[in-house]
Amino acid sequence: MRRLTVLGATGSIGVSTLDVVARHPDRFEVIALSGHRQIDRLAEQCIAFAPRFAVVADTASATRLQALLAGKVGTEVMHGADALERIASLPEVDTVMAAIVGAAGLRPTLAAARGGKRILLANKESLVMAGGLFMREVADHRASLLPIDSEHNAVFQCMPAAGRAGVRRILLTASGGPFRRTPIADLADVTPEQACAHPNWEMGRKISVDSATMMNKGLEVIEAHWLFDTPAEHIDVVIHPQSIVHSMVEYVDGSVLAQMGNPDMRTPIAHALAWPERVESGVSPLDLAAASDLVFERPDLDRFPCLKLAFEALRAGRGTPAVLNAANEVAVAAFLEHRLGFRAIADVIAATLESLPDQPADTLEQVFAADAAARVRAREIIGAIT
């Protein structure tokens, strides 16, 4: 019986996690859940899984959740950042699903690492912002780290049992998003609604925009560097619009191992929840005959400049990836609020990176200082062009 905390339970990853958990009540017990804005959904999850603790953002949300749960379940409701760190490091919890989106997920995920937990990592920002620091904490506290992103989970499944023996390179697949064939000249007129209409995956608005710009893949390149101790020159990205091959590992003997499946996040979630065993996930079997042709293309960096910026940030190192991530979060938020054009997202990120070179990132305080400075600068840049 694994005892779980699900950070970000009301998002798409959290919902899929609880779907898998519900299929195996003899294997998993939910101890704690957290949610941010979707309080009604969090209440439904608490009633269904009866966790001991639930955490929300603020007092008002806590009051509302308590009212919704009154007389139905004895869940203790807490709020705030400290409460998130508490449920991530509870002694009775052995496994933490880290699915809070963005920089807000870093502190509770670090708390899980310091608590020696098995971390199911869906919060890529923990590694993008503070990869060296985070991996040291994992090693020092003997935590274990299992990737949830479909691409990294696929690489994990295709890697050798120990180390990187015989591995030549990692090939991360990308769908190419909704604008893979849109004329570049037309991208300036893209709306948030169009950018959020991903052809294969059901995701939140921010990550959908990141997929459309391919910044999401760029962040995954940085994440792969830390997860698999692989330099940038041994990580490639290939566009695969069907999203059936989730990523590949190429070996020095010419072999290429691929993990395949229907595009459904319950597959990597079930894999990580039960690892090293396998459990049923609810995902329909892959019909290769029906899938027909599998297409692979090299990404066009003129179309996807955010991918190029991410590779450059990884090579620059230190706090540059944290600056990249923060500037992207600010720029995407402005785009979703109709204050910034789609093509201008990359322009804002590039200008922010140019303004803040070589930021230190040896401590958590330095990481957050780089993050804060980048947010201020990105907002200034957006203000100057809108």
The reply to whether 288 falls in a domain is: no
The reply to whether 269 falls in a domain is: no
**What number is the average pLDDT over the span 199-207?**
76
Last residue of a domain, one of 147, 176, 205: 147
Who contacts 247 (Cβ-Cβ below 8 Å, separation ≥6)? 150, 151, 152, 154, 155, 158, 170, 171, 172, 173, 258, 259
Same structural domain, 332 and 304: no
Strands (E), 17-80: 28-34, 53-56, 76-79
Same structural domain, 212 and 340: no
Report CA-CA distances (Å) from 102 to 149, 186, 245, 247, 295. 14, 29, 26, 23, 31
CATH of the domain at 374: 1.10.1740.10
pLDDT of the residue at 251: 97
Last residue of a domain, one of 147, 173, 189: 147
pLDDT of the residue at 164: 83
pLDDT of the residue at 18: 98
Tell me the chain's radius of gyration from C-alpha atoms.
Answer: 20
**Tokens 């998993």 map to which residue?**
28
Crossing angle between the packed helical segments 215-227 and 305-316, to the nearest 10 degrees: 30
**What number is the average pLDDT over the span 269-284?**
97
Same structural domain, 256 and 349: no
Same structural domain, 198 and 119: no
- Tokens standing for residue 91: 């002694």
The reply to whether 81 falls in a domain is: yes
Report CA-CA distances (Å) from 282 to 19, 32, 49, 203, 265. 8, 23, 18, 18, 10
Distance (Å, whole) CA 198 – CA 143: 34
pLDDT band at 266 (very low <50, low <70, confident <90, very high): very high
Same structural domain, 204 and 230: yes
CA-nearest of 177, 269, 162 to 218 is 177
pLDDT of the residue at 165: 87
Q: What is the dihedral of CA 344, 349, 352, 356, to 10 degrees?
A: -170
Instruction: Tell me the one-letter amino acid at 265.
Output: M
The reply to whether 281 falls in a domain is: no
Distance (Å, whole) CA 297 – CA 371: 33
Total count of domains within the chain:
3
Same structural domain, 190 and 255: yes
The reply to whether 377 falls in a domain is: yes
Same structural domain, 12 and 136: yes
Residue 202 has pLDDT above 70, yes or no: no
Report CA-CA distances (Å) from 126 to 122, 255, 274. 9, 32, 23
Same structural domain, 310 and 321: no
Distance (Å, whole) CA 262 – CA 203: 15
Spatial strand order in the sheet of 256-260: 235-239, 167-174, 245-251, 256-260
pLDDT of the residue at 161: 84
Same structural domain, 99 and 16: yes
Last residue of a domain, one of 147, 177, 207: 147
- Tokens standing for residue 248: 């590949």
Same structural domain, 198 and 244: yes
Distance (Å, whole) CA 267 – CA 144: 19
Over the chain, what is the mean pLDDT? 95
Same structural domain, 140 and 8: yes
Range of the domain at 252: 162-262+298-315
Residue 12 has pLDDT above 70, yes or no: yes
Same structural domain, 170 and 308: yes
- Tokens standing for residue 227: 């997860």
The reply to whether 274 falls in a domain is: no
Proportion of the chain above pLDDT 70, given as a percent: 99
pLDDT band at 373 (very low <50, low <70, confident <90, very high): very high
Spell out a b/e string for 32-50, using b for 16 or more CB atoms within 10 Å of the CB, else e: bbbbbebbeebbebbeebe
pLDDT of the residue at 200: 67
pLDDT of the residue at 44: 98
CATH of the domain at 52: 3.40.50.720
Q: Determine the distance from the C-alpha atom of residue 331 to the mean position of all C-alpha atoms in its chain, rounded to a whole number.
A: 18
The reply to whether 208 falls in a domain is: yes
Spatial strand order in the sheet of 118-121: 76-79, 53-56, 28-34, 2-7, 95-98, 118-121, 144-147
Note the pLDDT tens digit of each residue in 316-365.
999 999 999 999 999 999 999 999 999 999 999 999 999 999 999 999 99
The reply to whether 350 falls in a domain is: yes
